[in-house]
Amino acid sequence: MSMKRPAILVCGPHLEALSGVSTHLNLLLSSRLAEQFTLSHFQVGREGREESRPARLARFLLSPLSLAMTVLKRRVDVVHLNTSLNARAYWRDVVYLLVAKLCGARVLYQVHGGALPQQFFRGNRFLTALLRASLRAPDALVVLANCEVEAYRAFVPAQHVVALPNGIDPGPFAGFPRPVENPADAADERVAPLRLVYIGRLAREKGLYEALQAMRLSRAGKLAVRLVIAGSGPEEMSLKRFARGLGLAGDVSFAGPVFGAEKLRLLGQADVFLLPTYAEGLPYALLESMAAGVPVVATRVGAIPDVVTEGVHGLFVPRRNAQAIATAIARLHGDRAAVARMGAACRARIAERYSLARLAQDFAKLYTEMCPVRRVGVATRS
């Protein structure tokens, strides 16, 4: 007799979609998990799809049936459903959750940010009870942040809730050389502009308007600061107009989406990663910037405080506060030794706690706990 490798169906957006969840899926599928489990992907949602309205409706109606057929045909042991606690994702994915359970699969329900459960349907007792019942249905809940573990355990006390923060392969980022500042130049503000970078979705909730206002304040304070905004999203054109209106054309540039070597080059040229977001899970861009030795200016949201220690890996600022961002920029602009020291601490932090090897090991343990033992016969010679 020999052990059959457990079958894991990883559900989430298209693998080529521009999202943190897609990055997460690709990392899991390419990790050493594939040596222990039979991994496959099932696409949910519209990210990465180009479809007409009728095609979208047809997918919405037929996709749960397709999931059921996939689970039964491949004899899937665990459906790993990647979701977020926002209205669109919740109502869509609760259907997949129920279908997977009806087909006899174990369900790992991983929440990538969004509202805390106590706040999601606040004021509506019926919908809050429905949410609580649906969160009891999975065999395990995975969240990204310690604060989320506390919230979910309080909301569904009998549920198995664990925090498994994201991880990356730090090798390509750690191997990229950091620019070396000449101490004499660093003391001269005229020849040592502080180079800021943002990488991610261009949306209002990322705090980019406040970042641009902080750039204007920095300029008014006679500081040499440059900001590169990389990514795409619904606010792209509006942000460009806003930057021009503030007179920042020479200090702010928009690089569009960046990947691979281009992303490495951008991080290699940066001094500080800027992330004044209103809400977050655990963004991969944050982990990548820290792996590249780039300290951060960020808000205390989601899992960011679990990764970043104030004054060690960067600085925290309040949400929606341009003046606080400008103050943090000025502090780092005037202390390049601290920037270098924080950058080294960032590299160490990611290598020790947020590596892809650690992520794969954590999920391997969880998958194994959830999987029933199946044995298949192997013919032997007499």
Domain ranges of the chain: 2-167+356-376, 171-353
Q: What is the pLDDT along the chain (382 residues), one digit of tens a residue?
A: 456 899 999 999 999 887 889 999 999 999 999 999 999 999 997 765 666 677 667 766 789 999 999 999 999 999 999 999 999 899 999 999 999 999 999 999 999 989 999 999 998 999 999 999 999 999 999 999 999 999 999 999 999 999 999 999 998 887 665 655 545 544 454 548 999 999 999 999 999 999 999 999 999 999 999 999 999 999 999 999 999 999 998 999 999 999 889 999 999 999 999 999 999 889 999 999 999 999 999 999 999 999 999 999 999 999 999 999 999 999 999 999 999 999 999 999 999 999 999 999 999 999 999 987 654 333 333 2
Q: For residues 267, 272, 273 and 274, what is the CA-based torsion angle, rounded to 10 degrees?
A: -140
Tokens of 366: 């969880």
**E strand spans, 125-251:** 140-143, 161-163, 194-199, 225-230
Residue with tokens 């003391």: 187
pTM value?
Answer: 0.86
Q: Would you call 3 helix, strand, or coil by DSSP?
A: strand
Burial of 122: CB neighbours in 10 Å, binned 0-12, 13-18, 19+ = exposed
8 A C-beta contact, residue 225 and residue 219? yes
Tokens of 94: 């609760």
8 A C-beta contact, residue 162 and residue 149? yes
Topology classification of domain 171-353: Rossmann fold (3.40.50)
Can 2-167+356-376 and 171-353 be said to share one CATH topology?
Answer: yes
8 A C-beta contact, residue 112 and residue 136? no
Topology classification of domain 2-167+356-376: Rossmann fold (3.40.50)
